[in-house]
Amino acid sequence: MGRLFWKIFIGFWLALVSAAAITGTAVWLQHRREAGPPELAGGPPSRIATDMAAATLRHGGVEALRAWLQEVHARRPAMIFAVDEQGHDILGREVPPAALAAARELVESGADGQGARRIVTAGGDTYLLFVTRPPGPRPPPRPGPPPIAPWEFIVIGIATSLAFSALLAWYLTRPIRNLRWAFDAAAAGRLETRVSPLMGRRRDEIADLGRDFDRMALQLQKLVSAQRRLLHDVSHELRSPLARLQAAIGLARQEPAKVEPSLERIEREASRLDHMVGEVLALARLESGTATRPKERVDLAYLAANIAEDARFEAEAAGRGLRFHAEGDAPVMGDADLLHRAVENVVRNAVKFTREETTVEVNVRTTKSSASLTVIDQGPGVTSAELAKVFDPFYRGEAGNGTPGFGLGLAIAQRAIDAHGGTIRAANAPGGGLQVEIVLPLA
């Protein structure tokens, strides 16, 4: 059960307990005001009466006390009781239980002689002597507020429940209003909106929902920014070959004798455009998640060995070398075509940027849970600020200026590896150059 459930549960429970406590206190106060004084009489007259009864019992015995009590009862309204250990009065009268209990409590508390006396006769019998108030109308109630009517108890309960309901409604609706405002702002295109600062110090499901919204808004903001940047980069990259196409067409029209060279230029630029559009479409499919096919078992070492063999042929033709090393098989689950394209882009990128008369290192090794492929070139490397951008579409950095390509190879490789649950990292190699490591979970 969630934290919000316990907040509501405990809140309702406290509201009921508070209402019951307030009502019970009011009933107790009402009962206390309505209750009359205790039946046990006090004051100097009562003490004198018990002292006289005690003296009569001590010196004259039980019969003398019985005769004296009959005489006093006939002349005075106050009732003097002499009760034995069994709770029976010596005159056979009914003993008020409340007065008897109060007298016993008074004697046991050590206040013997303050309106109640316990006397032991010469024969060893014990009698409790005390005085009760005379029957008749109760004394007027104590001064104070008027008694509480039953309907006032209902009002107290309703007021308590209303106060708690208002507090609970405010506590729950305030963050919900903030969430509505944030959703409206995001729907209006203000993806920089964040709702967590408005949640304060809440630690419940509503606060978790606010944090989830912030993560969603941040991801949407990144995606929209990436799409805008991609659109800008594509437009920029298309402008140059289109300009060259227009120039070749214009030259062919002005100088018909040079139609053949112009057609070759047009064909070359059209091929570049076709290749770039294919790369952009591949990147778009990877980002949308529609490029992956059902996964199959692929040996990363075998795949990398085939790519390294083809790349070595191209590298040697350009005055460079390539060395491949693998430590056993490296089985992974994935799309063979996508993995082939990702690894090939990384290896060909290293061959392209490594200096002449240097060698590119391609190593495959496995651990208990993953397979890794490391490609190290001996080129100029990249600056620390550029390391975080090498996987951005169309980013080529300072070392890529004047180098053939569109800056999409590493971007496609990263999306392909991400689609397989792996990671790809770039770092400057200790001896110079760029080191790219791909890590994939083992099958």
One DSSP character per residue, 193-224 reads: ---HHHHTT--SHHHHHHHHHHHHHHHHHHHH
CATH number at residue 329: 3.30.565.10
**Which helix (H) or strand (E) covers residue 63, if one does?**
helix 44-75
Helix/strand/coil for 175: helix
- Both 258 and 407 in a single domain? no
Average pLDDT over residues 353-379: 91
Q: Identity (one letter) of the amino acid at 305?
A: A
Report the CATH number that the domain containing residue 114 is assigned in CATH: 3.30.450.160
Distance CA 316, CA 261 (A): 31
Q: Give 154-168 pLDDT, tens digit per residue.
A: 677 677 777 777 777
Q: What pLDDT sits at residue 35? A: 43
Q: Does the residue 338 lie in any domain?
A: yes
| Statement to judge: residues 102 and 126 lie in one domain | yes
- In a domain, residue 265? The reply is yes
Both 30 and 49 in one domain: the answer is: no
**pLDDT score recorded for residue 305:** 93
85 located within any domain = yes
Q: Which amino acid is at 430?
A: P
Beta bridge partners of 127: 119
Q: Integer distance in angstroms from the first to the last C-alpha of the chain?
A: 37
Domains contained in the chain, number: 4
Can you give the pLDDT at residue 37?
42
Annotated active-site residue 236? The verdict is yes
* pLDDT one-digit tens code per residue, 116-156: 878 888 777 888 888 876 655 444 555 555 555 556 666 77
What mean pLDDT do residues 381-408 have? 70
How confident is the model over 78-112, as pLDDT tens digits? 578 888 888 888 888 888 887 788 888 877 876 65
What is the amino acid identity at position 50?
T
Q: What is the DSSP letter of 429?
A: -
Same domain, 378 and 247: no
**pLDDT at 321 (0 to 100):** 92
Is 180 part of any domain? no
State both tokens at 330: 């490296």
Question: Are 317 and 397 in the same domain?
Answer: yes
**Are 20 and 63 part of one and the same domain?**
no
Q: What is 221-289 written as a DSSP string?
A: HHHHHHHHHHHHHHHHHHHHHHHHHHHHHHHHHH-GGGHHHHHHHHHHHHHHHHHHHHHHHHHHHHHHT
* 21 in any annotated domain: yes
pLDDT of residue 294: 74
Catalytic residue selected from 59, 88, 236, 275: 236
Per-residue model confidence as pLDDT tens digits over 217-251: 888 888 787 777 767 666 766 776 788 788 888 88
410 burial via Cβ count (<10 Å: 0-12, 13-18, 19+)? buried
Residue 118 pairs in a beta bridge with: 128
Q: Are residues 103 and 161 in the same domain?
A: no
Are residues 30 and 114 both part of a single domain? no
Check whether residue 376 and residue 394 sit in a common domain. Answer: yes
Is residue 420 over pLDDT 90? no
pLDDT of residue 371: 92
Residue 418 or residue 394, greater confidence: 418
Q: Is the pLDDT of residue 33 over 70?
A: no
In a domain, 389, yes or no: yes
- The DSSP bridge pattern shows strands 116-120 and 126-132 to be antiparallel
**Predicted pLDDT of residue 223:** 78
Q: pTM above the 0.85 mark?
A: no
pLDDT score for 325: 92
Domain boundary among 121, 156, 171: 171
Rounded Cα–Cα distance for residues 86 and 223 (Å): 94
- The rounded percent of the chain whose pLDDT value lies above 70 is 78
| Domain closes at, from 288, 314, 343 | 288
Average pLDDT score, the chain: 78
Residue where the block lists tokens 């290192």: 361
Residue after which a domain boundary falls, among 258, 288, 318? 288
Q: Distance between CA 93 and CA 350 in Å, rounded?
A: 118
Q: Let me know: does 90 contact 127? Beta carbons within 8 Å.
A: yes
Domain that holds residue 301: 296-441
Domain identity same for 358 and 392: yes
Whether 221 maps to a domain, the answer reads no
- C-alpha to C-alpha distance for 197 and 186, rounded to whole angstroms: 16
pLDDT in tens, 308-334: 998 898 888 888 999 999 988 889 998
Distance CA 438, CA 370 (A): 10
Amino acid 209 reads: L
370-376 vs 359-366, strand pairing mode: antiparallel
| Together in a domain, 432 and 401 | yes
pLDDT at 380: 84
Of 107-121, 190-204, 361-375, 396-410, which has the strongest mean pLDDT? 361-375
352 & 388 share domain: yes
Contacts of 237 (CB under 8 A, 6+ apart): 276, 394, 406
115 or 49, greater pLDDT: 49
Q: Answer whether 244's CB lies under 8 Å from 261's CB.
A: no
Q: Is residue 211 part of a domain?
A: no
